[in-house]
Amino acid sequence: MNLTLKVWRQAHENDTGRIETYEAKDIPESASFLEMLDIVNTGIINDGGEPIHFDHDCREGICGMCSLTINGVPHSREQGITTCQVHMRKFRDGDTIWIEPFRARAFPIVKDLVVDRGAFDRIIASGGHIGVRTGSAPDANSVPIPKDDADDSFDSAACIGCGACVAACKNASAMLFVGAKANHLNRLPQGKPEKDKRVLAMVHQMDAEGFGNCTNQYECEAVCPKEISADVIAKLNRDYAAAVVRDAVE
């Protein structure tokens, strides 16, 4: 396959940035999207140029680091997969592909296609944990958990924090991410004692990081590689409202 790439290049956060054009030649249809970029980078390096910088780690759809916007859609138009799981057979010979970083004020560009998603880490640090005592593992059935609660918590725990939800939202809202991380713990007995404190802290940190508000247009749900339901946003709103009331009364 021979393709034309329109790639965002930016030296650092304060650089203006620009789109540059590259020819991707003789790309195997069996190659993944990141393997295609590796091939292009090899050619750039051989010609004495600066390779295209992009983030990646596991290349198995687990870590979410491979966060690219492909033809205007975070992780591409394919449903339920990350960028590293996109294969070149999904494109046609002669296609032009636009490749850009995730766009959000809270995700400053480090270089080219690499963004700093430290804002997510700070949200997690603010309340995405439980304060139970550590030690030996409890027996499997010592804490009864209804199956619906366990399933709901597990579905939310699937969130990998890639940031596609933020990049797809016109307001750069992080509500799907925060809702998933809060719901993961709030539905379990171990997480209920700190539920109010957790929700208040995470929402306040989310606002402090500069993420926008949710307007319920579901772009986040559409691009989520783990297909997290937007229901977690409604649950977060209910939990937050209840926590604000209880906090005011107390």
Placement of tokens 């399933």 in the chain: 151
Same domain, 195 and 234: yes
Q: Residue 243: what pLDDT?
A: 96
Residue 47 has a CB neighbour count (10 Å cut-off) of: 7
Domain of residue 237, residue span: 117-249
CB 111 within 8 A of CB 12: yes
Q: What does the DSSP 8-state code read for residue 88?
A: G
Task: Give the start-end residues of each E strand in 67-136.
Answer: 69-70, 73-74, 96-100, 109-111, 114-115
Q: What does the DSSP 8-state code read for residue 140?
A: T
Same domain, 76 and 176: no
Q: Residue 140: what pLDDT?
A: 66
Segment holding 205, helix H or strand E: helix 195-208
Same domain, 44 and 135: no
Q: Which residues are within 8 A (CB) of 226 and not within 5 positions of it... i.e. 6 or more apart?
A: 80, 158, 159, 160
The values of phi and psi at residue 116, to 5°, are: -95, 110
CATH of the domain at 15: 3.10.20.30
Number of separate domains in the chain: 2
User: Of 58, 77, 110, which one is at a domain's C-terminal end?
Assistant: 110
Q: What is the distance between the terminal CA atoms of the chain, rounded to a whole angstrom?
A: 65
Segment holding 223, helix H or strand E: helix 219-223
Same domain, 81 and 129: no
Q: Residue 200: what pLDDT?
A: 97
How far is Cα 87 from Cα 7, in angstroms, rounded to an integer? 18
User: Of 57, 83, 110, which one is at a domain's C-terminal end?
Assistant: 110
Same domain, 121 and 61: no
Instruction: Locate 45 and state its tokens.
Output: 């390096």
User: Of 61, 78, 110, which one is at a domain's C-terminal end?
Assistant: 110
How far is Cα 220 from Cα 228, in angstroms, rounded to an integer? 9
Predicted confidence pLDDT, tens digits, the chain (250 residues):
999 999 999 999 999 999 999 999 999 999 999 999 999 999 999 999 999 999 999 999 999 999 999 999 999 999 999 999 999 999 999 999 999 999 999 999 999 999 999 999 999 999 988 887 777 777 767 778 899 999 999 999 999 999 999 999 999 999 999 999 999 999 999 899 999 999 999 999 999 999 999 999 999 999 999 999 999 999 999 999 999 999 898 7
Same domain, 203 and 221: yes
Q: Residue 131: what pLDDT?
A: 84
CATH of the domain at 232: 1.10.1060.10
CB 165 within 8 A of CB 105: no
